[in-house]
Structure 1
Amino acid sequence: MSIARPHAEDLTPDSKRGRMEVQSTLSFSDEDKVRILQPHDNALVVNLKIGGYDVKRVLVDQGSGVKIMYQDLYKGLKLKPEDLTYYDSPLVGFDEKTVIPKGQIRLPVQVGSEVVEVDFIVVDAYSPYTAIVAKSWLHAIEAVSSTLHLKVKYLSGNQDEELIGS
């Protein structure tokens, strides 16, 4: 799996527009699987900096559009009810029970030097995760994730970076 993204040393002229086109590829190889016992069915769980704090057990959900923050993290970040904005759409949890959100909050999520503002829906429900980031977060940092390799790869400046799952 790979994705092409601009990279400074791969400049090629674009004669139609007089611009320089840039190419780089983020990819996964067998070397990326070395530390992982195969086969596996583990979720891609990472550590991220959310709201300026190091947060463990964040699920990277490639198939979801919903970004979730669970109550334990909300309390751990010392957030208050007045920090939330109204959110009135019920959610269905992993256990198929309907969950009424407490509200929504926008917080910066940082990986390396990349920072993206994320609108988390705050829920009071049990989860082995502290938060869930979705495909919109991956798209915002122009990242490629692989559950097979338990990694997220992205470019930061001119450097290929990776976020290793736990």
Structure 2
Amino acid sequence: MYLDLYKGLRLRPEDLTSYDSPLVGFDGKIVILKGKIRLPVQAGSEVVEVDFIVVDAYSPYTAIVARPWLHAMKVVPSTQHLKVKYPSGDRIEKLVGSQSMARQCLVAAIRHQGGGEPSAPSGQGL
């Protein structure tokens, strides 16, 4: 979880527990860790407790969920379709991502790194 979201949720610094494992960002740089916190995450009608590592780094995203959440929810992800499906009671629910929002996040991340506007290969969009 990025610090902006942590502050936006009005969580206090004293709610964090220490977390001392090194973390390297997508750009290869060491990320400043603030600590760890366990929070409930709701997806549809399901609620699962998830441990978040809080980091002080730039990101166009608010949080990145990892395998523990995927396993706890029994999620089947499809990055190609920007969807996750998971069992809920006697039915299958799904969460659908936004291709345009994913593109905006990618553009923001590239601009932040000083790379300018990304270009997709001919005939392919993000």
Task: Output the CA distance in 1 between the equivalents of 2:3 and 2:34.
Answer: 9
From the two aligned structures, give the one with the greater helix fraction. Answer: 2
8 Å CA contact 1:88, 1:100 repeated in 2: no
| CA distance in structure 2 between the partners assigned to 1:131 and 1:146 by the alignment | 18
Answering whether residue 95 of structure 2 is matched by residue 163 of structure 1, we say: yes
Residue 22 (structure 2) aligns with: 90
Counterpart in the other structure of 2:80: 148
How many pairs are equivalent?
A: 98
Q: Which runs of 5+ in 1 are unaligned?
A: 1-68
Q: Does the 8 Å CA contact 2:16/2:37 hold for their aligned counterparts? A: yes
For residue 103 of structure 1, give the secondary structure of its aligned residue in structure 2.
Answer: strand
Instruction: Find the partner of 2:71 among 98, 116, 139.
Output: 139
2:10 aligned residue: 78
Residues 143-166 of structure 1 show CA distances to partners (whole Å, capped at 9, x for unaligned) of 100011110001111111110012
Q: Which runs of 5+ in 2 are unaligned?
A: 99-126
3-state SS of the aligned residue for 1:115? strand
CA RMSD after TM alignment: 0.8
Structure number with greater Rg is: 1
Identity fraction in percent: 78
Give me the TM-score of the superposition, normalised by structure 2: 0.75
One-letter code of the match for 1:135?
Answer: R
d(CA) in 2 for partners of 1:121 and 1:154?
24
Q: How big is each residue's C-alpha offset from its partner over 1:65-114, in whole Å with a ceiling of 9 and x where there is no partner?
A: xxxx0011001000111000011112101111101310000000110111
